[in-house]
Amino acid sequence: MDFIVEVLGMKPDKELYQFCKNIFFLRKKYGYSQNQMASIMKVSLHTLQRIESGDVPNRLLVDVFTHLASFFNCRISDLFIPMGEGEEYFG
């Protein structure tokens, strides 16, 4: 059975908003297309586009976070903190 992260409320909280910004940041930093990033995350292109626009789906599989953390060799918690500089979290 898959574990699901439930996102409650009409607007994502600060950490979820930061996660959305970080997804865009990582994709641009490493030169991935939206299709490539969606594949890395194992989500549909539409879901990635929603995330990048700040619209977090109400339900995300925990696997999305574990795939990203594994691919970018970081902790899941790193995905929720500002990466404007990025280098100290992702090399």
**27 and 71 in contact (C-beta within 8 Å)?**
no
pTM exceeding 0.85: no
Summarised one tens digit per residue, pLDDT across range 50-81 is 999 888 777 777 888 898 999 999 898 899 88
Residues 6+ apart with CB under 8 A from 51: 19, 20, 23, 43, 57
Both tokens of 61, joined, read 């599989």
Beta bridge partners of 61: 4
The letter for the amino acid at 72 is F
Q: Report the amino acid identity of residue 19.
A: F
- Give the tokens for residue 46: 């539409």
- pLDDT band at residue 41 under the 50/70/90 scheme: very high
Higher pLDDT, 80 or 34: 34
Averaged pLDDT of the chain: 79
**pLDDT at res. 16:** 83
Task: List the structure tokens of 14.
Answer: 């600060």
Distance between CA 58 and CA 46 in Å, rounded? Answer: 14
46 has pLDDT over 70: yes
